[in-house]
Chains A and B, each alone.
Chain A
Amino acid sequence: MTRSPFVEFRNVVKRFGERTILDGVDLTVFKGEITTIIGKSGAGKSVLLKHIIGLLKPDSGEILFEGRPLRSMSKAEWKQLKRKVSYMFQQNALFDSMNVFDNVALPLRERTRMPAEEIRKKVMARIEQFELSEVTDKFPSQISGGMQKRVALARALVTDPSIILFDEPTTGLDPLRKNTVLSMIAHHQREIGFTAVMVSHDIPDVFLISNRVAIIEDKRIPFQGTPVELEQSDDPLVQQFIRGQESLADELTGLLTRPDLEQKIRQELTRIGRFQKTFSVVLFVIDDLEHIREKVGFIAAQRIVQCLGNLLKGHLGTTGMSARFSQNEILTVLPHTDLSRAQHFLEDLAGRMKDAETFQAKTYPRICLEFYIKAGIAQANSGASLESLIEQARSNLRTIAHLECTTGRRVSKS
């Protein structure tokens, strides 16, 4: 598929009275893709959507539809264009005094001069596609929430739009239903091939179905790109967004965020040259955390990280700092510590770990999976970089603690 921009925002500014909502927004929505806009509540996501459908007009800047600026379009052209756009409301906004059939048929009845029989055929086709045949005579309040969402999507699709705007389609749904709605959107998008723009809070679930992600923050769009690009971006703001869901977990383990710690290490590195003070870093790796999560459970995996975090915190007090470095790695900085003292610290820590509940087989009554915690030390010298330090620590890894299962309940790793 050739990627041609469908909607483009160029330096769009929107103010409501004194308040500036959008201040120089650039955004590209490609044809046939799902573009998701994420951002904090009240950051202007819905305002952005309303510009696409023309409910709001920009104070300055330009919006282009298929390369043609909106401003230069005649009224008839704009009307034509508006028919290609559908909008799905957060609360579905179904007409509650009309039955399912009439709800889906309404846009055709009101906007086209189609004969009734043709409308019937078209509506029934959509209704069957969304598996709603049994409820055509029911009213929206008589059907389940998931069905209401399907009716809303069927209504949005019945006019064969080329772009559908989704205003927080999953907000306030339970996780199970959330996944159903997202997969429904993804499924029908693939099947029908419409362009979708979605506003959402549900990170990271929406990444799975999105082709592009745009972050709106502080009246602008500082990032737009594929979900993979997003995940690999080292922009602290972007990281903050994708780590939003992990922040509770980090809160529980008492660890810092990775950008905070990296900044601290860089600071320490510059001080070595000036004050001749060395420091060490210790990298802890929990072997096969992914396996534990899969076989034993999410909570068990979380407990292990938490245990390590708590031990480190208890042992170091306020002198050291630790952060979740990656999914199964924790990085600790020991200020004013040379290699031998760091060594000593590790041995001490290993001793305490042996007694921790997490490392006792009886903690896992049903499934036990052996795992190892490894640690590697590196001492910082003047001229060392953050990357080389971590590399060095990684090459020094050795096991400091492990869990041994009693043979009966042991499961193998693969």
Chain B
Amino acid sequence: MKKQALPLALFRYLGRSFISFVGELGAIAIFFFYGFVNIFSYPFQPRKIMQQVYFIGAKSIMIVALVGLFTGMVLGLQGYYTLVKFGSEGMLGAAVALSLLRELGPVLTALMVIGRAGSSMAAEIGIMRISEQIDALDTMDIDPIRFLISPRIGASIISFPLLTSLFDVIGILGGYLTGCLLLRINSGIYFNRIYDSVVMKDVTSGYWKSLAFAIIVSTICSYQGYFTHLRPGGFGARGVSLATTSAVVISCVLVLAADYVLTSLLL
């Protein structure tokens, strides 16, 4: 190859990576839409969606509840520490509820589910890819995206808001535990402040976020697994491990980035 001038090579490199990045974004978008539309294609797959709801949703209840509890308890302690400086520890209920409903509930739930279900989604689909099971589906004239991806996207859309509500409720109870039982705030004030300050918009914005996260997590994790074989870095088991890692990393980063964008839009 002819030796290129340095600036030209630099622009080429930047251009090429940008083009491939945009191409990848497009591929992910098509992947999602195709999978999403196929949730509603006949014959429906309620059994498969319920199985995934069980796996992504029901089996995550314990961990989400646990994390919700401790998050609420910490919020109670930290909130009290801050609020007591202004003599307004009565506002603790509002502080805990608002930060949970608007922010921490959807984000932490998404992060927990990425760790528990997203990684295994990527690994399972990745292994099916490398052991030719996805090609087998193809040759049997079974659409692999419809068969594998659509139920996962559908189940995530069902599970995420439910898990988020669970997180919120348990988190508020956690705040009650530390705020009221430990630090002796009047429980009537605690709950009354929640009642006073939380408006419907706070709740719905949290749900919008959790829906967005459901789409991001299920799409990214499935996509990484589904295209394991196209990864440049590794084949076989190594390819699956790389796919799982990047599924977790990319979806965590995207969840936090999307959280910022959505917050600024929904505020």
Contacts and interface: CB of A to CB of B under 8 A. Distances in A.
Interface of A: 53, 55, 79, 82-83, 85-87, 89, 91, 93-97, 106-107, 110-111, 113, 159
A111 B139 contact: no
B37 interface: no
B149 to A, nearest CB: 15
Contacts of A106: 140, 142
B142 A93 contact: no
A107 B43 contact: no
B185 to A, nearest CB: 50
A93 B139 CA distance: 11
Chain B contact-residue range equals 10 to 19
B135 A89 contact: yes
B138 interface: yes
A93 B142 CA distance: 14
Nearest to A98: B133
Nearest to A159: B140
B196 interface: no
Contacts of B132: 89, 91, 93
A91 B135 CA distance: 12
Given A110-B147, A113-B43, A95 B141 contact: no
Nearest to B139: A87
Given A87-B136, A89-B136, A111 B142 contact: yes
Instruction: Report the 3 A-B pairs with minimum CB-CB distance, sorted nearest first.
Output: A87-B139, A93-B136, A93-B132
B139 to A, nearest CB: 4
B141 to A, nearest CB: 5
Contacts of A82: 141
Q: Which of B43, B124, B135, B141 has the most CB of A within 10 A?
A: B141
Contacts, number: 43
A96 B139 contact: no
Nearest to A158: B140
B138 A79 contact: no
B131 interface: yes
Contacts of A86: 139-140
Contact of B141 (A79, A91, A93, A94): A79
10 contacts: A55-B139, A83-B141, A93-B131, A93-B135, A95-B133, A95-B136, A107-B142, A110-B142, A110-B147, A113-B43
A113 B128 CA distance: 25
Given A110-B147, A113-B43, A93 B138 contact: no
Interface string B140-151: 111000010000
A60 B148 CA distance: 34
Contacts of A97: 124
Contacts of A79: 141
A83 B136 CA distance: 13
Interface string B95-131: 0000000000000000000000000000010011001
Nearest to A50: B139
Nearest to A113: B43
A196 B142 CA distance: 22
Nearest to B43: A113
B140 A91 contact: no
B44 to A, nearest CB: 13
